[in-house]
Amino acid sequence: MPAPYSTFTSAVIPLPRENVDTDQIVPARYLKVTDKAGLAEALFRDWRFDENGCFVEPLFVLDRPGMSGRAVLLAGDNFGGGSSREHAPWALAAWGIRAIVSTSFADIFRNNALKNGVLPITVEPERHRQLFELVAADPGVELTVDLESQVVHLPGDEDLPFDVDPFAKLMLLRGTDELGYLLDRRPEIDAWEAMHPARVDTRPSSGGS
């Protein structure tokens, strides 16, 4: 369960690539783990290292000087498409990423990220372009992400408001998870099931219903 999501200030990791898919975030060969440990190493593995296990030249953005410790990833359009692997937000969170800014996010990735303390922030294409320009002009520029107020504070007192699902926001701010909420709904689930018989039985001996 992630810690309550608090306001933070960080410089930005720029990743100006469109359609970054979950196979790039965590290559499939790292999905053989049975826990969540060690996934930071798998993050963007094949963009960071060549076939001999050496850093690529020029270095991938995560490995460039000054990038360590940054918690905001500024990515190209449509981030997180492809597989449902939650290993992708696990790896991002393990690396220290707490917010990703893009013009859009794939549905499953967005859901998975919100459950792991990684906030997807959707901005308009024009603002997105301006953010990349801002970071290009001043690579050390710091942003403050304030989930409570749903605002990213930019230098010069400029504010960038963003939308977030109100329920997901509540879960993040409290540091609780959806399973707790669902478990509290068990009386309603019991009542519903009493009215709605099972549609199928998966047991091999069951035959038809």
Partner 1 sequence: MTGPRTIVDKIWDDHVVAEDAGAPAVLAIDLHLVHEVTSPQAFSGLRERGLTVRHPERTVATADHSIPTHPRSLPILDAMAAAQVEQLTANCRDFGIPLHGLGDPGQGIVHVIGPQLGLTQPGMTIVCGDSHTSTHGAFGALAFGIGTSEVEMVLATQCLLQRRPKTFEVRVDGQLASGVSAKDIILALIARIGVGGGTGHVFEYAGPAIRALTMDQRMTICNMSIEGGARAGLIAPDDTTFEYLAGRSHAPRGEAWDTAVAAWRALPSDEGAAFDRSIEIDASALEPMVTYGTNPGMGIPITSTVPDPEAQADAGQRRALEHALEYMDLRPGQPILGQKVDVVFVGSCTNGRISDLRLAAGALKGRRVAEGVRMLVVPGSDEVKREAESEGLDEVFRAAGAEWREAGCSMCIAMNGDQLAPGQYAVSTSNRNFEGRQGKGGRTFLASPLTAVASAVAGAVADPRRLPGIEDVAAVGGR
Does 29 sit near partner 1 (CB under 8 A)? yes
Does 198 sit near partner 1 (CB under 8 A)? yes
| Among 78, 130, 150, 176, interactor with partner 1 by CB under 8 A | 78
Phi, psi of 49 (to 5 degrees): -125, 150
# residues contacting partner 1 (CB under 8 A):
64
Residue 69 or 166 having the CB closest to partner 1: 166
**Is-contact 20 79, C-beta < 8 A?**
yes
Rounded CA separation 13/100 (Å): 9
Rounded CA separation 98/91 (Å): 11
Residue 71 or 120 having the CB closest to partner 1: 120
Rounded CA separation 61/63 (Å): 5
Residue 44 or 95 having the CB closest to partner 1: 44
Q: Is the peptide bond before 58 cis (omega within 30 degrees of 0)?
A: yes
**Is-contact 134 179, C-beta < 8 A?**
no
Nearest-approach distance from CB 198 to partner 1, in angstroms: 6
The footprint of partner 1 on residues 126-155 (CB under 8 A) is none
| Among 48, 81, 127, 164, interactor with partner 1 by CB under 8 A | 81
| Among 48, 62, 63, 77, interactor with partner 1 by CB under 8 A | 77
Residue 95 or 109 having the CB closest to partner 1: 109
The footprint of partner 1 on residues 43-72 (CB under 8 A) is 46, 51
| Among 7, 28, 68, 124, interactor with partner 1 by CB under 8 A | 28
Does 35 sit near partner 1 (CB under 8 A)? yes
Residue 38 or 139 having the CB closest to partner 1: 38
Q: Using CB under 8 A as the criterion, which residues of the chain lie in contact with partner 1 when the complex forms?
A: 16-19, 21, 23-24, 27-29, 31-36, 46, 51, 76-78, 81-86, 89, 104-108, 111-112, 115-116, 165-167, 177-179, 181-183, 185-186, 188-189, 192-193, 196, 198-204, 206-209
